Amino acid sequence: MNNTILVMEDDLAINNLLSSQLKNEGFNVIQAFDGEEAIRLFNENIDIAILDIMVPKLDGIQVLTHIRKTSVIPVLFLTAKGEEMDKILALGMGADDYITKPFSMMEVIYRLKAQVRRYYAYNNTANKALEKEILKHGDLELNTKDYTLKKDGISIELSVKEFDLLKLFMQNIGQVFTKHQLYEQVWEDDYFGDDNTIMVHISKLREKIGDSPKNSKYIKTIKGLGYRMEKL
């Protein structure tokens, strides 16, 4: 699928020339000629933006600020303002690259494509990390980053130890954990035969996720050994 790019440039000739070249490179192009128009046209389907600083109504920095409220897409500045402080300001406000006029069209294209590659490479890595943060098993969804549990989309409050127990089970579906192992991994302390502590926490956890000990769907007691998260 082609990337959609917003080009904000008030010079008609430059805007048309740049937009034409970008279309030849396979981009879908949305043209804007002032800051207010750029903000009006900006939407979640835009993948990258090229902005000029000196445009009517709202300048490029104001447009960048608006974009950064909701989006982390690559933003490149293409502008005649070549002073170091202008560049520092734009990059400090969240721009990803800064090219001064006059410019080489091929340089703009190469830099643009480089930003797109980095953006999607980062997103792929971030999505894989997010997949690891969200553990799903049956109708349970455990978020290991913000310490929340949902069952059928309904939030369930857990204590820290209940959360850590469930996390351990969900990360190791089908594996049997002895009480000794559970105590050392969840409580991070030596085990002194304190079965009652583990049993109470397992019981409360089962109750909260609606898991009956006699007809367990999730946490099964393995007599004489310990507990395991059942495969579904």
Say whether pLDDT at 193 is over 70.
no
Q: Look at residues 105, 132, 159 and tell me which one is the last residue of a structural domain.
A: 132
- Domain identity same for 170 and 184: yes
- Percent of the chain at pLDDT above 90? 49
- Domain identity same for 155 and 122: no
Residue whose entry in the numeric block shows the structure tokens 């395991």: 228
> How many domains does the chain contain in total?
2
Cα dihedral angle (92, 96, 100, 101), rounded to 10 degrees?
Answer: -130
- Domain identity same for 124 and 12: yes
- Domain identity same for 56 and 126: yes
Q: What φ, ψ does residue 100 adopt, rounded to 5°?
A: -100, 150
Report in angstroms the alpha-carbon separations of 23 from 16, 31, 75, 223. 10, 12, 18, 67
When pLDDT is cut at 50, 70 and 90, the band that residue 183 belongs to is: confident
pLDDT of residue 141: 92
Cα dihedral angle (94, 96, 5, 25), rounded to 10 degrees?
Answer: 180
How do residues 15-46 score in pLDDT, each as one tens digit?
Answer: 999 999 999 999 999 999 999 999 999 998 99
Tell me the whole-structure pTM to 2 decimals: 0.56
User: In CATH, what number is assigned to the domain containing residue 150?
Assistant: 1.10.10.10
- Domain identity same for 124 and 152: no
pLDDT of residue 215: 78
pLDDT of residue 127: 62
Question: Where in the sequence is the domain holding 62, given as residue range(s)?
Answer: 4-132
- Domain identity same for 145 and 174: yes
How do residues 205-228 score in pLDDT, each as one tens digit?
Answer: 999 999 877 778 899 998 888 899
Q: Look at residues 132, 154, 188 and tell me which one is the last residue of a structural domain.
A: 132
Tokens of 201: 């926490």
Question: Can you say how many angstroms the Cα of residue 47 is from the centroid of all Cα atoms in its chain?
Answer: 15
- Domain identity same for 28 and 86: yes
Scored b (16 or more CB within 10 A) or e, 151-187 reads: eeeeebebeebbbbbbbbbbeeeeeebebeebbeebb
- Domain identity same for 166 and 118: no
How do residues 115-170 score in pLDDT, each as one tens digit?
Answer: 888 887 767 665 665 556 888 999 999 998 888 999 999 999 988 889 989 999 99
- Domain identity same for 111 and 213: no
- Domain identity same for 115 and 146: no
Across all residues in the chain, what is the average pLDDT? 88
pLDDT of residue 186: 84
Q: Look at residues 132, 152, 169 and tell me which one is the last residue of a structural domain.
A: 132
Q: State the SS3 of the chain.
A: CCCEEEEECCCHHHHHHHHHHHHHCCCEEEEECCHHHHHHHCCCCCCEEEECCCCCCCCHHHHHHHHHCCCCCCEEEEECCCCHHHHHHHHHCCCCEEEECCCCHHHHHHHHHHHHHHHHHHHHHHHHHHHHHEEEECCEEEECCCCEEEECCEEECCCHHHHHHHHHHHHCCCCEEEHHHHHHHHHCCCCCCCHHHHHHHHHHHHHHHCCCCCCCCCEEEECCCEEEECCC
Cα(153)–Cα(166) distance, rounded to whole angstroms?
Answer: 17
Tokens of 69: 């409220």
Say whether pLDDT at 76 is over 60.
yes
Cα(64)–Cα(95) distance, rounded to whole angstroms?
Answer: 7
- Domain identity same for 12 and 110: yes
User: In CATH, what number is assigned to the domain containing residue 66?
Assistant: 3.40.50.2300
Tokens of 53: 């600083």
pLDDT of residue 10: 96
- Domain identity same for 126 and 155: no
pLDDT of residue 131: 57
pLDDT of residue 57: 95
